[in-house]
């Protein structure tokens, strides 16, 4: 049987069933796009709490409306499950799963390996499997491919042949939560296949929902592309963070310098300093390449230096907070500090790798009393790194005036900056947000 032609026919006729493993910030929006285009889609997740929420049309991601999910469920094209045996019902399996770092800042492929073993358990001839998780070059070919080829040995049969019996590809996610200009369907998608047939069917599938696919010569090139995108940002943000510290010693405002440099119409792209890197990609992806590079006896000094600078930023901010308190006759020990914003960037509820979480830890270790306020996070709950159980504080004049210092970490648009400035004793601003809102005051320190 020609499985390639069969899969192409199913995709073109929209009778192909799409299975997406991981109903998080990447997998859920992608599932909704396939449903919107008329594909039956099954969302898989090991989190049993997510399944009833999705099937009842509820959202656990702030920027994804319940209406979109409810519409998908009512269309009968979308269902969510933790029963992975239903992978046998699908024609394409897309893996949208976390790729964190372990305690030694080395790649933790536990989620990929566990998911791959599960897929292998149910892999059917003619299926397409695509990995979307950020990872080092070689992951698809070195981990997934051998595992799936062995599936053919069940019952004494021959190995499955990639590009003939099943299809394997890598297509890195490019999700930017709550970006007003770009969504899942409007961001071009890089696709690399293990064989030309794999590339063909993967591109065809993504072309149904994505504005443009960008085919590349291999899965390794596609994997490296994702790393380059995020290393580029990491290095340039590290440069701004380093200049911020240098210019601060020179009594120069780095934000003013950047705004002036932006007026050059060529050869310069603005990046901005902050309290540290956050999100699932930029703080993590560069270390996947540095780890893999050691296999080739290469030390990625430039990338690692950028990582060191960015990792140091919460500690630098903490120093600025301590200095601001000292200048106003207050010790960090016993000080009441309110952190504004715990998501990693403004106007979203994604707290993964947020520098605010590290700042809370630093201040608690210095015996400060730390609270936070974030309209997108009513409660900080335990995570892989932190064992927090802290409720968000309501922002009002009375509450603000009770803190020794307010630290702006995430510059949400719906913060009332004038009210905050008016009622706070001291403010340390890591985002230049108050000045951007036209507010200058001697009690506002930039960091």
**pLDDT tens profile 209-220:** 999 999 999 999
Structural domains of the chain, with CATH:
3-217 (3.40.50.720), 245-446 (3.40.50.720)
Contact predicate 43/86, CB 8 Å: no
Q: Give the max Cα distance, the chain.
A: 80
CB 98 within 8 A of CB 383: no
**Rg, C-alpha atoms of the chain:** 24
Nearest residue to 346 via CA among 68, 62, 27: 62
- pLDDT block averages, 10 residues each, the chain of length 447: 95 98 95 97 96 95 93 96 97 95 85 96 96 96 95 76 97 87 94 98 98 98 96 95 97 97 97 89 82 92 92 97 97 98 93 94 97 95 87 96 98 97 98 96 94
pLDDT at residue 157, as a whole number: 76
Tally of residues, the chain: 447
Q: Name residues whose C-beta falls within 8 Å of residue 56's C-beta, 6 or more positions apart in sequence.
A: 73
Three-class SS of the chain: CCHHHHHHHHHHCCCCCEEEECCCCCHHHHHHHHHHCCCCEEEECCCCCHHHHHHCCCCCCCCCCHHHHHHHHHCCCEEEECCHHHHHHCCEEEECCCCCECCCCCECCHHHHHHHHHHHHHCCCCCEEEECCCCCCCHHHHHHHHHHHHHHHHHHCCCCCECCCEEEEECCCCCCCCCCCCCHHHCCEEEEECCHHHHHHHHHHHHCCCCCEEEECCHHHHHHHHHHHHHHHHHHHHHHHHHHHHHHHCCCCHHHHHHHHCCCCCCCCCCCCCCCCCCCCCCCHHHHHHHHHHHHCCCCHHHHHHHHHHHHHHHHHHHHHHHHHHHCCCCCCCCEEEEECCCCCCCCCCCCCCHHHHHHHHHHHCCCEEEEECCCCCEECCCCCCCCCEEECCCCHHHHHCCCEEEECCCCCCCCHHHHHHHCCCEEECCCHHHHCCCCCCCEEEC
Instruction: Quote the pLDDT of residue 155.
Output: 62
Q: What is the pLDDT of residue 156?
A: 63
For residue 307 the two structure tokens come to: 């990582």
Mean residue pLDDT across the chain: 94
What separation in angstroms does the CA of 249 have from each of 246, 259, 264? Answer: 5, 19, 26
Return the active site residues: 281
- Phi, psi angles (nearest 5°) of residue 13: -90, 0
């Amino acid at each position: 049987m020609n499985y390639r032609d069969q899969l192409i026919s199913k995709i073109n006729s929209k009778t192909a069933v799409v299975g997406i493993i991981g109903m998080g910030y990447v997998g859920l929006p992608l599932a909704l796009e396939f449903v919107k285009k008329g594909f039956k889609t099954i969302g898989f997740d090991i989190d049993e709490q997510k399944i009833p929420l999705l099937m009842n049309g509820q959202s656990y991601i702030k920027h994804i409306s319940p209406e979109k999910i409810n519409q998908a469920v009512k269309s009968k094209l979308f269902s969510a499950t933790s029963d992975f045996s239903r992978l046998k019902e699908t024609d394409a399996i897309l893996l949208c799963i976390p790729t964190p770092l372990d305690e030694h800042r080395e790649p933790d492929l536990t989620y990929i390996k566990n998911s791959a073993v599960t897929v292998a358990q149910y892999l059917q001839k003619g299926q397409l499997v695509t990995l979307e998780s950020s990872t080092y070059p070689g992951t698809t070919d070195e981990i997934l491919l051998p595992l799936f080829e062995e599936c053919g040995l069940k019952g004494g049969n021959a190995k499955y042949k990639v590009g003939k019996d099943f299809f394997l590809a890598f297509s890195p996610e490019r999700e930017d939560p709550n970006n007003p200009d770009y969504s899942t369907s409007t961001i071009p998608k890089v696709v690399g296949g293990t064989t030309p047939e794999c590339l063909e069917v993967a591109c065809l599938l993504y072309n149904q929902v994505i504005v443009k696919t960008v085919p590349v010569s291999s899965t390794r090139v596609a994997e490296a592309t994702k790393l380059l995108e995020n290393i580029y940002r990491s290095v340039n943000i590290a440069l701004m963070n380093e200049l911020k510290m240098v210019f601060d010693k020179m009594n120069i405002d780095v934000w003013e310098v950047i705004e002036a440099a932006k007026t050059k119409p060529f050869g310069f792209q603005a990046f901005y300093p902050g309290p540290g890197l956050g999100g699932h990609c930029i703080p993590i992806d560069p270390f996947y390449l540095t780890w893999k590079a050691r296999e080739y006896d290469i030390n990625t000094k430039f990338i690692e230096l950028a990582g060191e600078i960015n990792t140091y930023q919460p500690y630098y901010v903490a120093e600025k907070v301590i200095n601001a308190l000292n200048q106003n006759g207050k010790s960090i020990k016993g000080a009441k500090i309110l952190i504004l914003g715990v998501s990693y960037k403004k106007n979203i509820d994604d707290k993964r790798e947020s520098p605010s979480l590290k700042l809370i830890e630093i201040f608690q270790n210095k015996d400060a009393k730390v609270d936070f306020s974030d309209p997108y996070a009513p409660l900080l709950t335990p995570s892989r790194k932190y064992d927090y159980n802290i409720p968000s504080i309501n922002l009002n004049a009375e509450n603000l005036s009770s803190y020794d210092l307010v630290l702006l970490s995430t510059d949400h648009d719906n913060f009332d900056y004038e009210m905050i400035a008016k009622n706070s004793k001291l403010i340390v601003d890591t985002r230049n947000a108050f000045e951007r809102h036209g507010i200058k005051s001697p009690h506002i320190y930039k960091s």
